[in-house]
Amino acid sequence: MTGRDAVLVLADGSVFEGETVGYEPADGVASGEVVFNTAMAGYQEILTDPSYAGQVISFTYPHIGNYGVNAEDVESRRPFCRGIVVRELARRPSSWRAREGLDDYLRRHRVPGIAGIDTRRLTRHLRAMGALPGAFGTDEQAVRAAAATAPTTEGIDLVAGVTTEHTYTHGDPEAPFQVVAIDYGIKSTILRHLERSGCFVEVVPASMAAADVLARRPDGVFLSNGPGDPGAVTGAAGTVRELMGRVPIFGICLGHQILGLARGAEKRKLHFGHHGANHPVRHEATGRVEITSQNHNYAVELEGVPGVQRSHVNLNDGVCEGFRVLDAPAFGVQYHPEAGPGPHDATYLFGEFVELMADHR
């Protein structure tokens, strides 16, 4: 696949040469916080994960697009990422499930991309320097200017741009458990896992007040994944604080972080985040190691926070990957237990949520 000559420039001035793929913006420049994802498959699910809002995704796997895209593997209504970076974009898909090539999909959804990048060099640079704002496009002067001014995700409420505007439901209304899912950037696979666990789910906007959530008389509240800075999500921690102790709560990824903030934990931005499908996490109670799917740039610090117990820890860097609230029916994990893409080691957590709801009826 041959596009126009393009350049990727990071905020620190590093330059990477490539060529355009996907959609080309009218001004010729795309920008965002550049992060790398180490998953070897599942690029369609990664692209449509709303957790990537505000970010440019660099794929470490060298061949992207080889099995095309299809309608079944989308995780949200559209991609929310600012763009993608690849070593090589496949010229044609080779899968019986493919309905469209990735390049056509990117064009249709207005997602810019740059190919031909030395993604090994880029990944090593981001590991050393941390996630950096950057820009790419065909006009080098404009790209350099955009890279110098591109914002990070710090302090920006990215959830407001991905959450649902209207409530909707998923599953069987006669299911044993009624769950309200607060949509910070929820994925379709999560809803399917909740349904399989016996839940009828009502998905509500991130801005919904605690009183309106409780008025629905749910058996439990699910706090979804989502993009960016947990401290910047308007009103989220306060809402969860009001819900805590009144209804069982299960939070994942951003939802886990917001649950932590509601409990008094401090947030911190990780050096280059966790983005991939192979992160080892130890379950503290059993010593069992789970291989997990993750996508986040922030974490919460529990040290000194009363009434909580760490339940999971990342074996790569020691970051807290899960905790339980000791005086309320609430728990959270930093990773994506539904996978999509990734291993299914952590799907048992949906069963634990169901048990928690059953115990507190």
Q: 10 - beta bridge partners?
A: 134
Catalytic residue among 19, 24, 33, 338: 338
Tokens of 304: 């000194």
Backbone φ/ψ region at 287: left (φ over 0), alpha (ψ -120 to 50), beta: left
Catalytic residue among 19, 253, 279, 312: 253
284 annotated active-site:
no
Instruction: Report how far residue 246's alpha carbon sits from residue 353's, in angstroms, rounded to the nearest whole number.
Output: 15
The residue whose two tokens read 């955009």 is: 146
The residue whose two tokens read 């895209």 is: 69
174 annotated active-site:
no
- Note whether 71 and 48 are within 8 A (CB): no
First vs last C-alpha separation in the chain = 57
Strands (DSSP E) contained in 254-337 are 266-283, 289-301, 308-314, 320-325, 330-333
Buried b (16+ CB within 10 A) or exposed e, 90-120: beebeeeebeebbbebbbebebbbbbbbebe
- Crossing angle of helices 348-359 and 188-196, in 10° steps, is 60
Q: What are phi and psi of 336, to 5 degrees?
A: -105, 100
Q: CB under 8 Å to 124, separation ≥6 — which residues? A: none
Q: What is the largest CA-CA distance in the chain?
A: 62
Tokens of 71: 């309608």
Q: CB under 8 Å to 236, separation ≥6 — which residues? A: 159, 184, 206, 230, 258, 261
Tokens of 57: 């995704």
Neighbours of 173 (CB within 10 A): 8
336 annotated active-site:
yes
Which are the catalytic amino acids?
253, 336, 338
